[in-house]
Chain A
Amino acid sequence: MKTRKYMDKIFKAGIITFSILTIAPLFIILITLLKWGINALNLDLITRIQRPVGERGGALNSIVGTLIITTIATIIASPISILAGVYVAEFPDKLISKITAVSSRLIAGIPSIVIGIVVYLWCVKPMGGYSALAGSIALAIMMIPNIVTATAESIMMIPKDYREASRSLGANFTRTTLKVIIPFALPGILTGLLSSFSRIAGETAPLLFTSFGNPFLNLNILKPMSALPLLIYNYATSPYREWHQIAWGASLILILIVFLVSIISRLGVKKWKA
């Protein structure tokens, strides 16, 4: 009898303790990041590009690189994913829909390094060199599942009355979809877009063999380009103290971008809905 009571108490204490421990790393990492990152936040970081050790360098080329590569990835991924999501939502019984839905989920599970390899083989080798475009393509592939799911789910939440009202007014499927369905689903689709954006902004592995990195400020997407994750990876694994500093600063900036976009997507969409 007593053991039951003990077990119950241990169980309750256990799940609370483990749950607190689960959240602990978040605070530990964020605090570490803030502590070291804020030290590294200076004008140099955002106004200067990478320089060899000993010279004053910064993360400017990487910040610009991240913004360019991620934005282009979004532009590449969005049309295909949204259209595919519309198809899956509007014709769920067709075989292609079911295959697409499954494929989308499987793509989400592809190791990011494998995506890097494949895009290397598709783009870098034929083009004869690394390029930001290849990096964007790799990141775009990673965005597909999120956007397809967000689109499909947003559309499926729309009550069928709206669709029927539009059709009964004489609009065909195309116009109904473009002028009624998609506008209605837009908040959800945008959330999907923005959350994918913030997710891939932090990805490194797909860029290792595609965009590769570039110590100079480069705006040509057909050439290699740096990005914050690449910078962090290279500098963090180097033996130089100054570079670790820069890596912390870059990490802070990266986290800020990721969290900011994430928050905007959630709040902005709520405002839109209202």
Chain B
Amino acid sequence: MESIILTVENLNVFYGEHQVLFNINLKVHEKKITAIMGPSGCGKSTLLRSINRMHELYKDVKVEGRIYLKNEDIFQMPPEEVRSKIGMVFQKPNPFPHMSIYDNVIAGYILRGIKLKKEERDEIVEKNLRSVGLWEEVKDKLFKKGTFLSGGQQQRLCIARALAMNPDIILLDEPTSSLDPQATAKIEELLVDLKERVTILIVTHNIGQASRISDYVAFLYNGVLVEFGPSTKIFTTPENKVTEEFLSGKFG
């Protein structure tokens, strides 16, 4: 029996006078991979970033509507709390260059001044590096800075960093678009494994990727949620003509 972990209700987002998202209603299933797809500029990232309230860092962005995480209104919580329950991985891998690999994994704790005992820290680092398949590769170099890692490894480190906070959901914003095919494949594999542990919401412009890994697909076009449903259905018999055109590659 699947349950809904995140509900987006009547979400409208404005950049100044310009409206970018129109009345988005979305239900995200727990411990599944939901892909948000659409052509460039359709508002996918905007939608994603609304969920962990990243827009509040910027002036001129107005967010209207409600978002419920496990039935709690996230706008009634302090933003830091929201972000500790909803993690994010960015398009360009961004491990902190001034921290070692070890510290990068537990960065969420370090930054928020949460003191952990050494055993706890060691455990978190190992567990999450294993989860992303990096442990064997870096276990001897934990205290070096992560800049020598390849793009794919850096991105997996960022995923480990997000996982270490034990979030309910992880948001990924086109996480493989700057990576080569092998690294991409590794991460896609990883995400499929991870969904047992955490709900995944991934923005991707790569139709193939979405079809490979997602359980549900949300198709966004010009800021409107055109269609949403199980991937099996959407990829074979989409209801909306625009969805069909996008999937058949008629426009990017």
Contact = CB atoms under 8 A, between A and B. Distances in A.
A4 B112 CA distance: 7
Nearest to B81: A1
Contacts of A3: 113
A9 to B, nearest CB: 12
Interface string A1-15: 001110000000000
Contacts of A5: 78
A207 B112 CA distance: 56
Interface residues of A, number: 3
A3 B78 CA distance: 14
Interface in B87-118: 112-113
A3 B113 CA distance: 10
Nearest to B78: A5
Nearest to A3: B113
Interface of A: 3-5
5 contacts: A3-B113, A4-B80, A4-B112, A4-B113, A5-B78
Contacts of A4: 80, 112-113
Contacts of B113: 3-4
Contacts of B112: 4
A4 B113 CA distance: 8
B66 to A, nearest CB: 24
A5 B79 CA distance: 12
Q: 5 tightest A-B contacts by CB? A: A4-B113, A4-B112, A3-B113, A4-B80, A5-B78
Nearest to B112: A4
Nearest to A7: B113
A202 to B, nearest CB: 38
A35 B174 CA distance: 61
Nearest to A8: B80
A4 B110 CA distance: 12
A4 B80 CA distance: 10
A154 B217 CA distance: 52
B82 to A, nearest CB: 15
A6 to B, nearest CB: 12
B79 to A, nearest CB: 11
A27 B80 CA distance: 39
Contacts of B78: 5
Interface string B56-86: 0000000000000000000000101000000
A3 B112 CA distance: 10
B114 to A, nearest CB: 9
Nearest to B111: A4
A129 B109 CA distance: 70
A64 B59 CA distance: 51
Contacts of B80: 4
A33 to B, nearest CB: 36
B241 to A, nearest CB: 46
A226 to B, nearest CB: 52
B63 to A, nearest CB: 21
A5 B80 CA distance: 10
Nearest to B113: A4
Nearest to A5: B78
A3 B80 CA distance: 14
A102 to B, nearest CB: 28
A20 to B, nearest CB: 20
B76 to A, nearest CB: 16
A8 to B, nearest CB: 9
B33 to A, nearest CB: 32
A232 to B, nearest CB: 44
A4 B84 CA distance: 14
Interface string B119-139: 000000000000000000000
A154 to B, nearest CB: 33
B142 to A, nearest CB: 27
A5 B78 CA distance: 10
Nearest to B80: A4
A3 B114 CA distance: 11
